[in-house]
Amino acid sequence: MTGGLVAAVLGALAISVGVQGLENGLARTPPMGWLAWERFRCNIDCENDPHNCISEQLFMTMADLLVSRGYTSLGYNVVSLDDCWPEHERDEQGKLQADSKRFPSGIPALADYMHKKGLQFGIYEDYGNYTCGGYPGILGHLKTDADTFAEWGVDYVKLDGCYADPKDMDQGYPDFGNLLNATGRPMVYSCSWPDYQLASGMTPNWTSIIATCNLWRNFDDIQDSWTSVASIINYYGDNQDDIAVNAGPGHWNDPDMLIIGNYGLSYEQSKSQMAMWAIFAAPLIMSVDLRSIDPKYEAILQNKEVIAVNQDPLGIQGRRISKENGIEMWTRPINPSHGDEHSYAVAVLSQREDGIPRPVTLTLKSLGLTSSDGYHVTDLFDNYNLGVVHPDDEITVHVNPTGVVLLKCVLASAQ
C-alpha cells in the first residue's frame, strides 16, 4: 500500500470511527458461547453442591466440554461468568475480587485457562450500585473496573442494569464502553441498557446503543419453559419494526440464552428455539449442563446448517411475514446473493398445541421470494431436498405442534 493510500484509509477509518462512536470491530457475526446464568443461577453453596455451584471448577469443566465435544470448532468460543462470582466487598484499592473460596485460583488464572484452550473469557458486572444478585456494581468504579477487566484478560463483558436509574444509562453505558476501549484490549460489550429503559417506559436511543454495544438485551429474562421462549418470539415479531433494523455486523439484538437441553423444552420446542434464534441473527449463548446434555439436544445445538444461517455474514435480522391460526412465516435474507437478490432462510413456526403435524401450503412468492430462476430448497433439520422451487410453485410442509420447519432457499441464479 502506498503512503498516500495508507493516509486515505486511515482518514476514512477515522471518519467512520467518528461516525460510529464506539465501534470496536468485534462481533462481526453474532457471538457464540456458554453462559452460566439460566441453568446455574446464583448457586453459591459449594459445600453442599460442589458440582453445580458457581465456582472456577464449573467454568473449567464447561470449557473442557466445549472443546472435547466439538462445540468450539462450530464457533461456540466464549465461556462467561454471570452474577455471583465476586466477593461482597472490593479490596483496599477498590478493585473487584473473586470469591476466594469458590475461585481460589483467581480470575486471571481462569481467563488464562480459557485462552490456553483457544476460548475467550467473559465476565459479568452491573451498571449500578449492586448486581441483580446484590454483589458490588460498577458505579463509582468505572475506570478501575474497565482497567481490571483488561488486566485480567477478559474478552467479553456483560453489563447488567439492576440498582441503577435507567435515565443515567444513556451516559453511563457509553462511558463504560469508552473506558473498555481505552484499555486497548478488545472486549465484546453486552448491554442490558435498552431492556431496563423499555421496562421503565423510556424510548431507547437506538443510534447510541448500536454505536456503543456489540449486543443488547431488550426483553425479559429467559426462563426454562416454552411459555418464556414463545413470549420472546412474540416480542420480536410484534416489535420488529422498531428492533430488527438495529441488528447488523458488530451490533445484535440479544433475545437471551439458548435453554436447549435443560428441563423445560420438548425436542420440537428446542428446534424451534434454535431456528428462531437463527432467524433473529441472535447471539447463540448456551446455558446448559454440558456434562449431562442428551445427545439429541446436543445435535440441535450443533446443527451446522442452522448455525451457518445464524452466522450469515450479511447480518440481516429476519422478520415475521405472517401469523395466522397459530402458524407463523418468518424469513431472513442470507448469502449467497446475486445483485439485489438474496437467498433466504424460511421458518414455518407453529404455536399451535393441537396434536397433529399441520400441513402448510405456501408459495415462495407469498413470502417475498421472487427470483424467477427459483431457489434450491432444503430442510435444515430433517435434511431433505425439495429441489428447485420457483416463486409460484406450491409446496407443502408439515409442522409439528410448537415445532418448526426451517428451510434454506438458495438463489438458483447465484450458483
| 37 versus 152: smaller Cβ distance to ligand GLA | 37
Q: To the nearest whole angstrom, how small is the minimum distance from the Cβ of residue 56 to ligand GLA?
A: 18
With left for phi above 0 and alpha for psi between -120 and 50, is residue 397 left, alpha or beta? beta
Residue selected from 112, 151, 221, 305 as contacting ligand GLA according to rule CB under 6 A: 221
| 82 versus 328: smaller Cβ distance to ligand GLA | 82
321, three cell numbers: 411475514
Alpha helices in 46-163 (DSSP H): 56-68, 71-74, 107-116, 142-152
Closest CA to 276 of 325, 313, 222: 222
Number of residues that bind ligand GLA (CB under 6 A): 9
37 belongs to the binding site for ligand GLA (CB under 6 A): yes
What is the β-pairing status of strands 404-411 and 341-350? antiparallel
99 belongs to the binding site for ligand GLA (CB under 6 A): no
Residue 215 near residue 256, CB atoms below 8 Å:
no
Quote the CA–CA distance of 341 and 330 in Å, as a whole number: 17
The residues assigned a catalytic role are 160, 221
Quote the CA–CA distance of 227 and 302 in Å, as a whole number: 24
| 252 versus 344: smaller Cβ distance to ligand GLA | 252
| 98 versus 364: smaller Cβ distance to ligand GLA | 98
132 belongs to the binding site for ligand GLA (CB under 6 A): yes
83 belongs to the binding site for ligand GLA (CB under 6 A): yes
Quote the CA–CA distance of 351 and 157 in Å, as a whole number: 34
Pick the stretch among 13-21, 128-136, 267-275, 356-364 that binds ligand GLA (CB under 6 A). Answer: 128-136
What is the β-pairing status of strands 32-35 and 284-286? parallel
Radius of gyration of the chain (CA): 22
Tell whether the torsion through CA atoms of 100, 103, 109 and 111 is positive or negative: negative
Q: To the nearest whole angstrom, how small is the minimum distance from the Cβ of residue 110 to ligand GLA?
A: 18
112 belongs to the binding site for ligand GLA (CB under 6 A): no
Q: To the nearest whole angstrom, how small is the minimum distance from the Cβ of residue 265 to ligand GLA?
A: 18
Report the site for ligand GLA in 198-217 (rule: CB under 6 A).
Answer: none
Pick the stretch among 19-27, 125-133, 304-312, 313-321 that binds ligand GLA (CB under 6 A). Answer: 125-133
Mask of contacts with ligand GLA, 38-77, x by CB under 6 A?
Answer: ----------------------------------------
133 belongs to the binding site for ligand GLA (CB under 6 A): yes
Amino acid identity for residue 70 in this structure: G
| 132 versus 260: smaller Cβ distance to ligand GLA | 132
Q: To the nearest whole angstrom, how small is the minimum distance from the Cβ of residue 83 to ligand GLA?
A: 4
| 132 versus 198: smaller Cβ distance to ligand GLA | 132
Amino acid identity for residue 219 in this structure: F
Report the site for ligand GLA in 159-188 (rule: CB under 6 A).
Answer: 160
Nearest residue relative to ligand GLA (C-beta): 132
36 belongs to the binding site for ligand GLA (CB under 6 A): no
Alpha helices in 31-84 (DSSP H): 37-40, 56-68, 71-74
Report the site for ligand GLA in 344-363 (rule: CB under 6 A).
Answer: none
Which residues, 6 or more positions from 347, have their beta carbon under 8 angstroms from its beta carbon?
Answer: 275, 276, 278, 279, 318, 328, 329, 330, 331, 404, 405, 406, 407
13, three cell numbers: 477509518
Phi, psi of 193 (to 5 degrees): -45, -60
Helix (H) or strand (E) holding 284: strand 284-286
| 256 versus 341: smaller Cβ distance to ligand GLA | 256
Pick the stretch among 130-138, 204-212, 269-277, 312-320 that binds ligand GLA (CB under 6 A). Answer: 130-138
Using CB under 6 A as the criterion, which residues of the chain lie in contact with ligand GLA when the complex forms?
37, 82-83, 131-133, 160, 192, 221
